[in-house]
Amino acid sequence: MFRFRFAKFASLASFGLMLAPLPALAAPDAETAFIFNSLSFLVHGFIVMLMAAGFCMLEVGLVRSKNATVQSTKNIGLYSIAGLMYWLCGYNLMYMDVSGYIGTLMPWSPADASITEAGYTGDGTDYAASSDWFFQMVFVAAAASIVSGAVAERVKLTTFLVFSGILTGIIYPIQGSWTWGGGWLSEMGFSDFAGSTIVHSVGGWAALTGAIIIGARKGKYTADGGIRPMPGSNLPLATIGTFVLWFGWFGFNGGSQLAMGSAADVAAIANIFVNTNIAAAAGVVVAIFATQILYGKIDLTMALNGALGGLVAITAEPLAPTPLLAAFIGGVGALLVVITVPLLDKFRIDDVVGAIPVHLVAGIWGTLAVCISGGASFGVQLTGIIAIGVFVSVTSAVVWYVLKAIMGLRPSEEDEVSGLDLSECGLESYPDFTRQS
Amino acid sequence: MMKYIIAIVQPGRMEDIQRALSEIGISGMTVSEVQGYGRQKGKTEIYRGAEYTIDFMPKIKVELAVESKLAAKVTDAIKDVCNTGRIGDGKIFTLDLSEAMRIRTGEVGQAAL
């Protein structure tokens, strides 16, 4: 116990030394670095956790009120399932003794070689083992929630939750092991700082296969080729959700520095925050201009998607770009989103919230844009994008088809029209609007 | 010689009705969201362990004023679109309409329709 208190005092003292105007700064000792690295994972991690709330608000706001309960249930359900699956098998499948293509199938345990009863040993990693698990876990949850928005309003709740379990426990960890787990893609030099491909496009591919296999909402596309918009029920909620996601992204990208134990690390995190914000802001502004020019009016939902598209795009490399390059990357991401949203409708792929343009298309762009700041070669980035794309699409499609055979993907037509809240949950979100209390 | 037609039907039928009526030359109608029940029983739901019954189901009410000779065509068109063979399809009422006026011009009678 005494050693812990002494250690805390020592690290505070050395922190104070770093602030004092000395001509030469002492590098922090290993335990101080350990503390700050772990702190980075934990704080950035719980900031990312709030993205679960952000996704929930965004999706609920963009679906019709008769489906708001189910959408909320999907979000809290998938976040929880992701957290459990990643403990039960996901983390070790992604990180433990990765053979090149896959890790080890067993539950994760919080055993940490760095801390014994005697105190800090310096024998383990230079961060608390549990802090890394926690940080990686919230990323998995983000990937799963991408699917939830795209297939909203016509997928069965239970089926979706089962899919989320398989995505977070098996599909995501295996492709994640290829890069972050030290597998074959990382050996090739594939560069994806915080997950434009590994998190966002993975969610995007799973969402795309889901949207195609499940089919569109009833009445969305008419027999004569027409498109019927189904406006969201709560745009202010969707806007607040986007702000919360934007906030969460500082944790998402900042924490992906994976260290905060030196001045260089902290300066890097600061630059990451700056680039992340600029990319999102550029995304909003480009979307505003683009919709004003294309449609004669500024479309709020596109502005929201534009912010997220910019954020996804910068996620592959938020550190190296100059602010100007970050703005360019974010802006192009948003432009791709604005173009892709109506394009999906042309192909009669019903994506309720724009998850596929934002996470898949902008994710691919962001991964390729790493080449602009010289972080990787185009060929390697493309290899990674295609390999992960094929893997996730094929495995997701298989899972969707198996679930279709076992459980069914869609509710009955009658249930879909009357609203999933009543048929799946027996619970309306806004009961006072239509009947006396 | 005008009729006022009120149809109470399942929600989600609005656009189908609109299309069917425009095919027979009707160019206007009024729609409101209402609740109702008839033979279609309500649902029993459970909220946090307690059961409750919802009797009133959401419906939509379509109202339009037409010339008498079109009235039968209109009710047939609505019936064809809304008939699913299940309890809860709804009802159509036809009332005699004594007068109608277009506010902008002051026209009355069939010219107002």
Chain B touched by A219 (CB under 8 Å): yes
**pLDDT, tens digit (0-9, with 9 covering 90-100), for A173-230:** 999 999 999 999 999 999 999 999 999 999 999 999 999 999 999 989 988 888 989 9
Q: Looking at residue B47, what is its pLDDT?
A: 82
Q: Is the pLDDT of residue A394 over 50?
A: yes
CB contact under 8 A, A422 and B46: no
**Residue keyed to tokens 């993205």:** A51
How distant is the Cα of B35 from the closest Cα of chain A, in angstroms? Answer: 8
Q: Give the DSSP letter string of A176-233.
A: HHHHTTS-HHHHHT---SS-IIIIIIHHHHHHHHHHHHH-PPTTTB-TTS-B-----S
Name which of A402, A7, A432 is nearest A165 in CA terms: A402
Could you give the CA distance from residue A248 to residue A57 in angstroms, rounded to a whole number? 13
Could you give the CA distance from residue A67 to residue A353 in angstroms, rounded to a whole number? 14
Q: Looking at residue A322, what is its pLDDT?
A: 96
Longest C-alpha distance within chain B, in Å? 59
Chain B touched by A413 (CB under 8 Å): no
Residues A427/B47, Cβ–Cβ less than 8 Å? yes
Q: Looking at residue A5, what is its pLDDT?
A: 52
Query: For chain B, what is the total number of helices (H) and then of strands (E)?
Result: 2, 6
Name which of A95, A97, A99 is nearest A172 in CA terms: A95
Q: Chain B: residue nearest A416 by CA?
A: B12
Q: Is the pLDDT of residue A436 over 80?
A: no
3-state secondary structure of A430: coil
Read off the tokens for A21: 């105007």
Instruction: For chain B, give every domain's residue range.
Output: 2-112
Q: Looking at residue A336, what is its pLDDT?
A: 98
**pLDDT, tens digit (0-9, with 9 covering 90-100), for A26-68:** 678 889 999 999 999 999 999 999 999 999 999 999 999 999 9
The complex's ipTM works out to 0.76
Could you give the CA distance from residue A62 to residue A76 in angstroms, rounded to a whole number? 17
Looking at chain A, the whole-number percentage of residues with pLDDT higher than 90 is 80
Which of the four CATH numbers 3.10.110.10, 2.40.37.10, 2.40.340.10, 3.30.70.120 does domain B2-112 have? Answer: 3.30.70.120
**pLDDT, tens digit (0-9, with 9 covering 90-100), for A358-375:** 999 999 999 999 999 888
Give residue A234's pLDDT band: very low, low, confident or very high (50, 70, 90): very high
Neighboring chain A residues of B11 at a CB cutoff of 8 Å? 417-418
**pLDDT, tens digit (0-9, with 9 covering 90-100), for B54-96:** 788 889 999 999 999 999 999 999 999 999 888 888 999 999 9
Neighboring chain A residues of B58 at a CB cutoff of 8 Å? 418, 434
Give residue A18's pLDDT band: very low, low, confident or very high (50, 70, 90): low
pLDDT, mean over chain A: 91
Exposure class string for A149-163: b at 16+ Cβ within 10 A, else e: bbbbbbbbbebbbbb
Give residue A24's pLDDT band: very low, low, confident or very high (50, 70, 90): low
Give residue A21's pLDDT band: very low, low, confident or very high (50, 70, 90): low
Q: Give the DSSP letter string of A226-275.
A: -B-----S-HHHHHHHHHHHHHHHHHHHHHTT---SSHHHHHHHHHHHHH
Q: Is the pLDDT of residue A3 over 50?
A: no
Q: How far apart are the first and last CA of chain A?
A: 58
Give residue B100's pLDDT band: very low, low, confident or very high (50, 70, 90): very high
Q: Looking at residue A23, what is its pLDDT?
A: 52
Q: Looking at residue B60, what is its pLDDT?
A: 92
CB contact under 8 A, B35 and A427: no
Q: Is the pLDDT of residue A425 over 90?
A: no
Give residue A19's pLDDT band: very low, low, confident or very high (50, 70, 90): low
Q: Is the pLDDT of residue A117 over 90?
A: no
Chain B touched by A27 (CB under 8 Å): no
Q: Looking at residue A4, what is its pLDDT?
A: 44
Could you give the CA distance from residue A72 to residue A106 in angstroms, rounded to a whole number? 31
Neighbours of B101 (CB within 10 A): 12
Q: Chain B: residue nearest A219 by CA?
A: B12
Could you give the CA distance from residue A172 to residue A204 in angstroms, rounded to a whole number? 12
**pLDDT, tens digit (0-9, with 9 covering 90-100), for B15-56:** 889 989 999 989 889 999 998 888 877 778 888 888 888 788
CATH superfamily for domain A36-104+124-410 = Ammonium transporter AmtB like domains (1.10.3430.10)
CB contact under 8 A, B11 and A435: no
Instruction: For chain A, give every domain's residue range.
Output: 36-104+124-410
Neighboring chain B residues of A434 at a CB cutoff of 8 Å? 33, 35, 58
Q: Give the DSSP letter string of A35-52.
A: HHHHHHHHHHHHHHHHHH
CB contact under 8 A, B35 and A219: no
Chain B touched by A12 (CB under 8 Å): no
Q: Is the pLDDT of residue A17 over 80?
A: no
